[in-house]
Each structure stands twice: as C-alpha cells, then as structure tokens.
Chain A
Amino acid sequence: MTNTAPLDSRFYAPLGPARLATLRVLTGAFAVIYFVVRSPVMASFRGFRPTQFEPVGLARVLDAPLPAGWVLALYLAAIGFGLLFTLGAFFRVSGPAFALLALWVTSYRNSWGMVFHTDNLLVVHLCLIALSDAARALSIDARGRPEPAPDPRFGWPVRLIAAVTVMVYVLAGIAKLKASGFVWMDGDTLRNYIAYDALRKQQIGSIHSPFGAWLVQYAWPFPIIGTLTMVLELGGPLALVHPLAARLWVLGVYGFHIGVLATMAIAFPYPLSGIAFLCFFECEKLWRWRGLKRLARWLDGGKITDADGGGTLNRS
C-alpha cells in the first residue's frame, strides 16, 4: 500500500468505458445542436462594429475581427469535428480538434464586449473529455475491437469532470463572498438584480420574466433564495463525498437554474439540459431505454445486444 492508496481508491478506481463514452456522446451532441441552433449569434457578427471587438479566450491572438468568411469556416469546422467527436470517429484527432474549435467559436462569440457565462462549463467539459480515452466504447473507433475491461483510465476523467463542475459553482459563491460578503444572503442584492434585469429588458423591448417582476414586489422570499443559493454554491464539494449528497446537490443546482430562468428569463442551456450533471450518475444506463438502445447498438457496431443493455454497459 502506498500513501496515495486512499486517493487512488476514490479517484483512480477502475470504471467501465461506457460512462465516459456516454458523456462524450451526449456532451458532443449537445454542443453540436447548441452551435447549430445558436448559429445566428455564433457564426455571424455583422451587427458589430470593429471598435467593439474585445478579444477573450483563444480570440486574444487577434488584434482585429476576422473576415466573415474565416469566422464561418471555423464555425463549420467546429460543427464537422463535433459530429466526429460525438460519433467517436478518429477521436485522437477529432477530440482535441473539436475541443479547440469549440473553445474558438465560444471565445469569438464572447469577444464583443459581453462575456456570457453560459458556455464556460460546456467548453471545459469538452476539453476534459478530449484529453481522455472516451472513445473506447459507443464509438465508431471501437467497432471491431474487443470490449475493454473496467480500468482507471475510464474512471478518473468522469470524477474530474464532476470535480470541475462543482468548482465552477464554488467560484460563483466565492465571487459573492468577495464582492458582498455573507450579507449577500439577506436577499436584497438578488432581489434588486432580478428587478434590474426585468427593467432593462422592458426598456430594450426584449422578453422579460413577468414572474420575476411580480416576485420582486415581495421581500420575504429573497433571504431564503439568497441563503439557498450560497449554500448550494459553497457546499458543492459535498457532492463529491457521497452519491446521495451528489443527487441532492444536482437537484438543488438544477432547481437554481430553473429559478434563474423563471425569474430572469436567463437560460443556461447546458446545465438546464441536465447533461452537465450526468457525470454524477450512472448515465450509461440511459442506453437501456428502448429508443436509445438502437442508437447505442449502431454506435457500438452491434456489441450491445441483450435486452437489458448488455455488453459494454453491463461492465460499467
């Protein structure tokens, strides 16, 4: 026994390849669909003047906006590599390539004076999946190969994705502590932000939340909501300790995002899809659903054959 054994038993423990592969398929599919649906704001920036260009992320290599043709070409390349990433084809190349292109597309989108916070977690997850052995199951690359046995190489990336997910929420909690302290929990700040959000959206003729506009007329819910928000954000690491804590935390954070949508009409698509939190669950069991089983069988080249999932999925 080495002194790292306790850490290894939690973090570097063996796991079947299906869970990591499931994260690859679903995160990749989400990213591709998201990029396609959001194409008006991700593939074209004609509405902006060059003086508005404030590069962030990968776009920092630029001094000025790219020609429109390059922007479109890189966006289309991201979609193409995203499909290969999702299908697990040529993953050693397509994995890192898609992660980089997704980082590029989202960086460029965020480089016009407004840093959105809706894409961060998705991009980080894609990068971590790209750095792992995520195409050894449920992939075109894995067709015709023997099923790998459970191995630490399929386990640590899943646990790392969970840890990073928690960390992002902890960072949001730390930001509130740094800027406002624990007084943030009294709810006044949150109430005023919700009111301000509805006000400015009304003034710009955009969709705002009537529910939020109504709710801010009452002070009493906000200390409760503010306290719950801080507890969820700063208490995130508990989700890494026990599966039950993880379920409760995911439920709470998902409810938090529903609340943000309901009160401010601000959608965080990746967390709201639920895919951001699949790393906390035995998500490979999703393929046992009748509709998805056929897709899994096609991806895996027929390895998944028996009635309750079978093959790779039973080894996870």
Chain B
Amino acid sequence: MHRLYAYAVSVAALLIVGWPATRNLDLDGFPLSTYPMFAYPKGRVASVTSALAVSANGASAPVPPKYVANAETMQAFRTLQAAAAKGRRESGELCRAIASRLKSASDPKLRDAQHVRAASGRVDAIDFLAGRATPSSRRLHARCDVEQKQP
C-alpha cells in the first residue's frame, strides 16, 4: 500500500512541478513557475523607471525601495514600473504615497525634498555603467510636492 502511495505522490509531484514547462512563459506563477527571468532576449538599451527626490536647489537623489513599496528592491522596481504602465493617475497616487513617506526619512536629502518625480529614461546599460552614457529622453509619469513637517 505504501508503495502505491509513494509512486502516486511522486508521479503527481513531478507532473505538477513540471507542468509549467507546457505553458506560455508569460504565465508565471507561484510556487509553480515557468522561470522566465533572464530567459527572453535582451538588448543593451534598456528603459528604467525610478523615483527622484528633488530638493529646493534642484539637486536630486534616488528614492530608495523602502519608500516606494518595501525593503525589496525588485518589488519597488516592479511597483514603479506597474504604476507607469497603468498611467498618470496610478503614478500620481504612488508619487503622493512616496512623498508622504519621505517626511519621516532620516536622510536629509530625502526628508527635505521639495517634490518627487517618477520618470522613465532609456540608456545603453553597459555604456551607462562605464560612465559613457546617461539616461536620455526621460518621460515624466508624475510629479508631486512633499509637504514639509511643521516645526
């Protein structure tokens, strides 16, 4: 009887875990995954979405992940990307949420920011890392003010 159980569980487990191989790669899930990360062809030029905290003198600093979503970099990145894809309203809501969180930041560059900008830009990633290029044609998704704490 146990032999039957062993083979039934084993066949079921292998079929279930292997089943995503029969699916479209884009239909990723959890815990059964098609493992599409790093699978698709990727060019050197990439679009990247980020949030910047901009101070009164125009200096800007990237907003770290924990003010965008949570401590997970990939989650924050996906949150920015998804909001940009959904349009200005969604980006605006995210921008305001980020701005309200910056008020409690310990880093003065973030805490004292006057506004937040969510934008995308395209750049040759390898050239960027070598210092030969900067993101061009930045597309603004949202801009919102950071309300300063009253003294």
Contact = CB atoms under 8 A, between A and B. Distances in A.
A156 B2 CA distance: 11
Contact of A57 (B31, B38, B74): B31
Nearest to A215: B129
B31 A119 contact: yes
Interface string B30-67: 11111111111111101010110000000001111110
A179 B93 contact: no
A116 B74 contact: yes
Contacts of B70: 40-41, 44-45, 47-48
B140 interface: no
B121 to A, nearest CB: 8
B30 A115 contact: yes
Given A168-B17, A168-B35, A200-B77, A206 B41 contact: no
A192 B73 contact: no
Interface string B55-94: 0000001111110111111111111101000000010011
A157 B5 CA distance: 11
Q: Please classify the interface of chain A as helix (H, G, I), strand (E, B), loop, or mixed, using the class held by over half of its residues.
A: helix
Contact of B6 (A52, A152, A171, A174): A152
A110 B78 contact: no
A239 to B, nearest CB: 15
B10 to A, nearest CB: 5
Most buried by B among A41, A115, A202: A115
A206 B38 contact: no
Given A171-B35, A195-B44, A216 B18 contact: no
B69 A196 contact: no
Contacts of A216: 125-126, 129
A110 B30 contact: yes
A196 B20 contact: no
Contacts, number: 198
Interface stretch (A65-73, A159-167, A282-290, A298-306): A159-167
Contacts of B18: 167, 171
Nearest to A107: B30
Contacts of B44: 192, 195
Interface string A179-216: 11001100001111101101111111111000001001
B6 A12 contact: yes
Most buried by A among B42, B66, B78, B97: B42
Given A113-B79, A152-B2, A152-B3, A199 B14 contact: no
B68 to A, nearest CB: 7
A204 B65 contact: yes
B9 A192 contact: no
Interface in A6-55: 8, 11-12, 40-41, 44-45, 47-49, 51-52
Contacts of A213: 129
A179 B39 contact: yes
A192 B130 CA distance: 13
A127 B65 CA distance: 32
B64 A196 contact: no
A205 to B, nearest CB: 3
Contacts of A115: 28-30, 33
Contacts of A52: 69, 79, 82
13 contacts: A41-B71, A56-B30, A57-B31, A114-B72, A114-B75, A117-B35, A152-B2, A152-B6, A172-B35, A178-B39, A192-B44, A195-B46, A204-B68
Given A11-B10, A171-B35, 5 more contacts: A114-B75, A156-B6, A189-B38, A199-B123, A216-B126
Interface of A: 8, 11-12, 40-41, 44-45, 47-49, 51-52, 56-57, 103, 106-107, 110, 112-117, 119-120, 123-124, 128, 131, 152-153, 156-157, 160, 163-164, 167-168, 170-172, 174-176, 178-180, 183-184, 189-193, 195-196, 198-207, 213, 216-217
Which 7 A/B pairs are nearest by Cβ-Cβ distance? A205-B62, A195-B125, A179-B39, A172-B35, A114-B78, A175-B39, A203-B50
